[in-house]
Amino acid sequence: EAGVAQSPRYKIIEKRQSVAFWCNPISGHATLYWYQQILGQGPKLLIQFQNNGVVDDSQLPKDRFSAERLKGVDSTLKIQPAKLEDSAVYLCASSLSDGGNEKLFFGSGTQLSVL
C-alpha cells in the first residue's frame, strides 16, 4: 500500500517569500490533515479536511496560511508571506474517516527553513 506522499522534502526560503507544499493522501482516505511541528514540540493541527470540505481550521493563521483540497484527493498548503517563526516540519496525514478513533497515516513531512 502506498503511503502519504509529500513534496518537497526540504525547502529553504527567505522571510516574506511564498512557499507551497503538496500532499497526496492514501487512496480512499476521506480525511486529510496538515500539521505543523516546530522543533522540540509536538505536531499542531493546522487544518483538517473531510473530502474537499474544511472540518477544522481554528489554528490556521489565515492571514498568511491557506490550504485547499479541491477535488477531495490531494492538497496544497501555502504560506504567503513567510515569517521566521514558520520554520518547522509540515506534516500531512490521512485517515479513512474523521471519526476521532481513526489511525492517522503520516507522510515524511516537508522541512521548511525561513531565513
Binding residues for another protein, per CB under 8 A? 3-4, 33, 35, 40-45, 48, 55-56, 91, 93, 98-101, 103-104, 106-109
C-alpha distances out from residue 85 to 10, 16, 44, 89, 93, Å = 16, 12, 14, 12, 22
Contact 8, 23 (CB under 8 A): no
Residue 99: CB minimum distance to another protein, A: 7
Residue 87: CB minimum distance to another protein, A: 17
Residue 89: CB minimum distance to another protein, A: 10
Pick between residue 27 and residue 41 the one whose CB is nearest to another protein: 41
Distance of alpha carbon 101 from alpha carbon 54, whole angstroms: 19
Pick between residue 55 and residue 115 the one whose CB is nearest to another protein: 55
